């Protein structure tokens, strides 16, 4: 039986994919120190099974129990990680915590300020095919109306998530990482995870590169335009999302296509007081709960907007820059698509011509 099980439950949009890649890239080295990643290719399906959500077209029934059995066979520490777990209902979280019998169960949760999380959520929705404006998105988030808003707050409301995931756990078994303000380096991210997981950073020396940069206002405008066109035609939505993500992850800013400091997507200034009120509730809960906080609680406070600065509205991007970026995006997606399509087999005439030329 595992001496310890660490459940990393989110939150979404806090760099979870970096943790997954780093753990996988250093699986053998970590295992030599007693830290294991059971069923590494099946943790996503198991997490979706637990919370009753679809995982593509796969049947995931029973995957959670399979993961639990694998974790309990580990001699050492088992790490289970997927940010969909943040949205688990109370009964689902209790089932997860009770799955590991007498193991030493810990919960790890990463939190970040609303001024970064809300723009990140809008960008994620665009990557999934939405084409709504930033204004409409923010209105839904503030009102907590609609499926996207409900899922966001279910996974991002710090005190709500932790109440669900700490039932029956001692506070010192709950590790909350406060993401540093600004743009932390991969090593800074990894050091924070190691502090929460109780492992030595040197046990995972192989890095996995930078976390993909957030969309700029120009890129978001280009993606919205592409999504609007694609909504008008039949297409394979799953493949399209994969192509878009690959294109965005490998993108480079074109000359004049934005991406500078004035092209960043930020929280609308008039929502600063609203965000501060929510943050105050979260900070009060964290400081009063006794949970293990890693990082600075102060970094949860969103930076105050500069009263003299003109806010860059993501719904009003530069049209010429958007056109250039959209062409770059489509070109990259086309290259990615052609790599997925096998070449047509040669015709009989072509085969005969090659033989005549002595080519085969």
CATH-assigned architecture of domain 4-116+156-211+268-303: 3-Layer(aba) Sandwich (3.40)
pLDDT of residue 329: 84
Whole-number Å distance between alpha carbons of 77 and 79: 7
pLDDT at position 254 over 50: no
Percentage with pLDDT > 70 across the chain = 89
Kindly report whether the global pTM for this prediction surpasses the value 0.85: yes
pLDDT on residue 256 = 42
Mind listing the pLDDT tens digit for each residue in 168-197? 899 999 999 999 998 888 889 899 999 999
Place of tokens 């960008």: 123
Mean pLDDT across 1-17:
89
- 39: closest CA among 12, 11, 20? 20
pLDDT tens-place string over residues 73-94: 999 999 999 999 999 999 999 9
Burial class (CB in 10 A: 0-12, 13-18, 19+), 345: exposed
- CA–CA gap between residue 66 and residue 72 (Å, rounded): 10
Task: Quote the tokens at residue 124.
Answer: 């994620």
**Which tokens in the block code for residue 329?**
């995006």
**Given this model, what pLDDT does residue 255 score?**
39
pLDDT in tens, 110-165: 999 999 999 999 999 999 889 999 999 999 999 999 999 999 999 999 999 999 99
Give the pLDDT confidence of 315-335 residue by residue, as tens digits: 999 999 999 998 888 888 788
d(CA 238, CA 243): 9
Please state the rounded mean pLDDT for residues 225-239: 78
Reported as a single tens digit per residue, the pLDDT across 276-320 is 999 999 999 999 999 999 999 999 999 888 889 999 999 999 999
The whole-number pLDDT of residue 246 equals 74
Residues above pLDDT 90, as percent of the chain: 68
Determine the pLDDT at residue 341: 61
Residues with Cβ within 8 Å of residue 294, at least 6 apart in sequence? 175, 176, 177, 178, 192, 195, 196
Q: What's the rounded Cα separation, in Å, for the pair 247 and 245?
A: 5
How many CA atoms within 13 Å lie on the side-chain side of 116?
A: 21
- What confidence score (pLDDT) does residue 208 get? 86
Per-residue tokens: 68: 């639990």
pLDDT at 258: 47
What is the side-by-side strand order in the sheet with 104-111? 35-36, 77-81, 4-8, 104-111, 174-178, 292-294
Q: 29 pLDDT exceeds 90? A: yes
- Categorise residue 15: left if φ over 0, alpha if ψ from -120 to 50, beta otherwise: left
Is pLDDT of 360 > 70?
no
> What pLDDT sits at residue 235?
65
Domain boundaries, the chain: 4-116+156-211+268-303
- Write the DSSP symbol of residue 26: T
Does residue 210 have a pLDDT over 50?
Answer: yes
For 28, counting Cβ atoms within 10 Å of its Cβ (0-12 exposed, 13-18 middle, 19+ buried), the class is: exposed
Residue 144: what are its φ and ψ, rounded to 5°? Answer: 55, 45
Contacts (Cβ under 8 Å, ≥6 apart) of 260: 216
pLDDT value of residue 253 = 47
Tell me what percent of the chain is helix, strand and coil, each rounded to the nearest 5. Answer: 55, 10, 35
* DSSP calls for 273-308: HHHHHHHHHHHHHHHHH--EEES-GGGGSPPPPPTT
Give the DSSP H or E segment for 120.
helix 114-127
* Residue 350's pLDDT band (cuts 50, 70, 90): low
């Amino acid at each position: 039986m595992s001496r310890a099980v660490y459940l990393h439950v989110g939150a979404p949009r806090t760099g979870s994919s970096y943790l997954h890649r780093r753990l996988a890239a250093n699986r053998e080295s970590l295992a030599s120190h007693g830290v294991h990643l059971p069923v590494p290719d099946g943790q996503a399906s198991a997490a979706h099974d637990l919370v009753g959500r679809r995982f593509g077209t796969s049947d995931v029934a029973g995957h959670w129990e399979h993961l639990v059995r694998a974790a309990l066979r580990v001699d050492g520490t088992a790490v289970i990680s997927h940010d969909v777990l943040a949205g688990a209902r109370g009964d689902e979280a209790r089932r997860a915590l009770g799955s590991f019998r007498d193991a030493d169960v810990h919960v790890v949760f990463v939190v970040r300020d609303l001024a970064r999380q809300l723009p990140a959520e809008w960008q994620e929705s665009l990557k999934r095919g939405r084409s709504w404006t930033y204004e409409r998105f923010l209105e839904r988030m503030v009102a907590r109306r609609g499926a996207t808003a409900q899922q966001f707050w279910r996974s991002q409301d710090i005190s709500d998530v932790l109440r669900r995931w700490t039932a029956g756990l001692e506070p010192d078994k709950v590790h909350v990482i406060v993401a540093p303000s600004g743009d932390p380096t991969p090593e800074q991210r990894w050091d924070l995870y190691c502090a929460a997981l109780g492992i030595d950073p040197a046990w995972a020396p192989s890095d996995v590169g930078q976390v993909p940069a957030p969309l700029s206002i120009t890129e978001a405008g280009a993606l919205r335009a592409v999504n609007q066109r694609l909504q008008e035609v039949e297409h394979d939505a799953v493949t399209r999302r994969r192509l878009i993500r690959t294109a965005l992850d490998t993108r480079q800013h074109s000359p004049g296509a934005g991406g500078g400091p004035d092209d960043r997507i930020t929280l609308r200034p008039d929502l600063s007081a609203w965000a501060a009120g929510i943050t105050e509730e979260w900070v009060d809960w964290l400081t009063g709960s006794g949970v293990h906080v890693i990082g600075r609680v102060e970094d949860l406070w969103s930076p105050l907007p500069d009263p003299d600065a003109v806010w860059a509205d993501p719904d009003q991007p530069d049209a010429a820059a958007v056109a250039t970026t959209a062409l770059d995006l489509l070109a990259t997606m086309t290259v990615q698509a052609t790599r997925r399509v096998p070449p047509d087999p040669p015709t009989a005439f072509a085969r005969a011509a090659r033989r005549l030329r002595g080519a085969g």
